[in-house]
Structure 1
Amino acid sequence: MSVIWYECKVKYRKTHETGEQKVTTDTYLLDAVSYTEAESRITEEMKAYTNEDFRIMNIKVANFSEVHPFENSDRWFKSKVSLVALDEESGKERKTNIYLLVQANDVKEAFENTTKAMESTMGDYSIPAITESPILDVFPYFTGEEEQLEKFGVVENAEASEEMNVEGEI
């Protein structure tokens, strides 16, 4: 069973650095097996963020194939990756687009992190677009340390920061 990611928009009163309180709508990403579980999980996660009342404004299925967090990064970027394959019947190249959510500090770093995430890919690919995502935080489902390692494949990258490749089977 593949991981299904849900984008959840939540409206709540947020205290800014200046001490001023404003009502904002923020977007969060989490994995769940259904809309009902997504609603339950975002409710639990938001209780940790705010003591104020909040409203879940929208929940929708996100089209991310993989999510790649990187340490020391504070923003999320949506990377469009075109996988190139040769159609044996027609002899023409076929492109299939997938979308990755990659954590980085800017677009250049998002491109580099997308390239790192695609290192194990055997086929050809290109990265035609990278855009900043409105997603503030990602809440993957973890049941425990051992299961986390088995299910999500924690890998050390060259800078000795942990990269979690959140894809595949659960």
Structure 2
Amino acid sequence: MAIWFLCKIRYQKQSENGKQTAVNESYLVDSVSFTDAETRIYQELSSIIKDFTLTGVRPMRLTDVFHYEDAETWYKCKVNYVSVDEKSGKEKKIQNTMLVSAWSVKQAYERIEESLKSMLVPFDISDINITNIMEIFPYVAEEKVPANFRPLAEVQAERDMETVE
């Protein structure tokens, strides 16, 4: 399960009229800790923004993130459903927060509905709000194999050949 951190940065941007203005932006990073989130945001943004300051890192509780390539605006959606406790038989209201990229509130609603249509319990989308998140950086596993490593099948084949001889 992904652990998302909301990272806020501040930097000076030159406007079209040549005036320097302070800009605040938010980015979402999938990381294992605060330190990892800070490291990753510097790695991701240092090539894009020359001189910025990280002003805040906080965890953001999200159940899921639905990314669509055709939209740049992120909407925070609250989805509610009722669950029944097996032991006590009592109903319990569950609230999940999800992010979806869309062009409008209507499209965000439709995309959440589409993404959750396989849910077995009925759900209610109670809240959709636009966020100021510029971009998300999901975790991507780097599978770098050291140069001195070889596939196990190759090593076993060599050992089998040695035992035959």
Shared fold per TM-score greater than 0.5: yes
Number of the residue aligned with 1:117: 115
What amino acid sits opposite 2:12 in the alignment? Answer: R
Alpha-carbon spacing, 1:17–1:103, altered in 2? closer, same or farther (3 Å): farther
Deviation sequence 1:101-157 (CA, Å, 0-9, x none): 100011000101111221221212110000011111101111369xxxxxxxxxxxx
Q: How many pairs align?
A: 143
The CA distance in 1 between the partners of 2:89 and 2:79, in whole Å, is 22
Q: In 2, are the aligned partners of 1:31 and 1:38 still within 8 Å (CA)?
A: yes
After superposition, give the CA deviation of every residue in 1:50-106 in whole Å (9 maximum; x if it has no partner).
12x111000000011111111211200000000222344555432100100100011
- Separation in 2 of the partners of 1:69 and 1:19? 35
SS at match of 1:115: helix
* Partner Cα separation in structure 2 for residue 81 and residue 20 of structure 1: 43
Check 1:17–1:137 CA distance in 2 against 1; reply closer, same or farther (3 A cut).
farther
Match of 1:151?
A: none
Structure 1 position 16, deviation (Å): 4.7
User: Does 2:54 align with 1:48?
Assistant: no
8 Å CA contact retained: 1:85, 1:124 = no
Q: 1:67 is paired with a residue of what secondary structure?
A: strand
Q: After alignment, is 94-103 or 118-127 more displaced?
A: 118-127
Find the aligned partners of 1:138 and 1:87 in 2 and give their Cα distance.
35
Partner of 2:60: 62
Q: Which structure ranks higher in relative contact order (CA pairs < 8 Å, sequence separation ≥ 6)?
A: 1
Cα distance in 2 for partners of 1:96, 1:11 equals: 35
Gaps in structure 2 of 5+ consecutive residues = 144-165
> What SS does the corresponding residue of 1:116 show, helix, strand or coil?
helix
TM-score if structure 2 supplies the norm length? 0.79
Q: Partner of 1:39 in structure 2?
A: 38
Q: Judging changes above 3 Å, is the alpha-carbon distance between structure 1 residues 50 and 79 closer, same or farther for their aligned structure 2 residues?
A: same
Residue of structure 2 equivalent to 1:11? 10
Match of 1:101 in 2: 99
2 CA distance for matches of 1:57 and 1:21? 19
Distance across 2 between alignment mates of 1:70 and 1:85: 29
What secondary structure sits across from 2:118 in the alignment?
Answer: coil
Q: Higher Cα Rg: structure 1 or 2?
A: 2
Q: Which runs of 5+ in 1 are unaligned?
A: 146-170
